[in-house]
Amino acid sequence: MIFGKIEYLNLLPFHVFMKRYARSSQMRHILHYKRGVPAQINKKFHSRQIDAAFISSITSAQCQCLNLGIIARKEVKSVLLLPGEDKCDHESATSNVLAKVLDLQGEVIIGDKALKHYLNSQDKGIDLAKVWFEQHGLPFVFARLCYHGNKRPYEKLAKNFLRQAHKVPQYILKTASSNTQIDAVDILDYLKLIEYKLDPHALLSLKRFLRLANRLPS
C-alpha cells in the first residue's frame, strides 16, 4: 500500500495515528509513503502512483472517498489571502479555487508557512475558511481521504482513527516545532481548529463548494 503523505501540521495527529496503527496491524509490512504538498499528491493519486491520500476537495469529486478529511469549523489560520496582486499558491488546489468562489483578490498562501505568517505578522491576511463560514454558515472541507481499489482496509483505518483521541506525544510535537519554527503551544492551539470527520454539515458544505466552483469561468 502506497500512501500519499502531506507533512503539514494539520495532519500531524493522523501521522501519529498511522505510526501506531501500522505497528499494531499487518499494514506495517506493506505500508510505504510518497511525500509531497497537496498539489503534488493530487497528481500522484490521479495517476495511480499512490493508493490512498488526503486529496484536495476540488479534485475529489469523482474519486472513491471516505467521510474522513481536513475540516475547519469557523477559521483555520493556515489558508490565507494576502493583499496584493492575484497569485495562486503552487502547493494548493482547493484554496486557490476557494478564493475565486469567495470573489476575493490577493495572494493565496497555505500550510505551515501560512500559519507562521498568521502568528508572526501584524497584517494577518484574510482567513478563507472564516470568510466561507461567514457567508454560508458551514464548515469548510479542504481535503478528503480517497483511495483506489478495495474499500475495506481504508474504511477500517478511518474508523480506528476517528474513534481515538487525537493526542500528539511531546517528542513529536517538539520535532514538529523545530521543523516549522512554530511554538509547540501554537501548534496545539492550531490543531484545535481542525476536525477530521465529515458530518452532514461538512458534506453539505463540500457539495455547495463544488457546485459553486463548477460555475466559475473556465
Task: Write the secondary structure of the chain as one string of H (helix), E (strand) and C (coil).
Answer: CEEEECCCHHHHHHHHHHHHHHHCCHHHHCCEEEECCHHHHHHHHHCCCCCEEEEEHHHCCCCEEEEEEEEECCCCCCEEEECCCCECCCCCCHHHHHHHHCCCCCEEEEHHHHHHHHHHCCCCCEEHHHHHHHHHCCCEEEEEEEECCCCHHHHHHHHHHHHCCCCCCHHHHHHHHHHHCCCHHHHHHHHCCEEEECCHHHHHHHHHHHHHHHCCCC
Residue 30 above 60 pLDDT? no
User: Domain residues of the chain, as ranges?
Assistant: 2-199
Q: What percentage of the chain has pLDDT greater than the value 90?
A: 82
pLDDT of residue 25: 63
Q: Calculate mean pLDDT across residues 41-51.
A: 93
Taking the complete model, does pTM exceed 0.85, yes or no?
yes
Question: What's the whole-number average pLDDT of the chain?
Answer: 93
Structure confidence by residue, pLDDT tens digits, 161-193: 999 888 899 999 999 999 999 999 999 999 999
Residue 73 above 90 pLDDT? yes
Residue 126 above 90 pLDDT? yes
Q: Is 208 exposed, middle or buried (0-12, 13-18, 19+ CB in 10 A)?
A: middle
Least confident stretch, 19-28, 31-40, 50-59, 201-210: 19-28
pLDDT of residue 66: 96
State which fold the 2-199 domain adopts. D-Maltodextrin-Binding Protein; domain 2 (3.40.190)
pLDDT of residue 54: 96
Structure confidence by residue, pLDDT tens digits, 14-27: 999 988 887 766 66
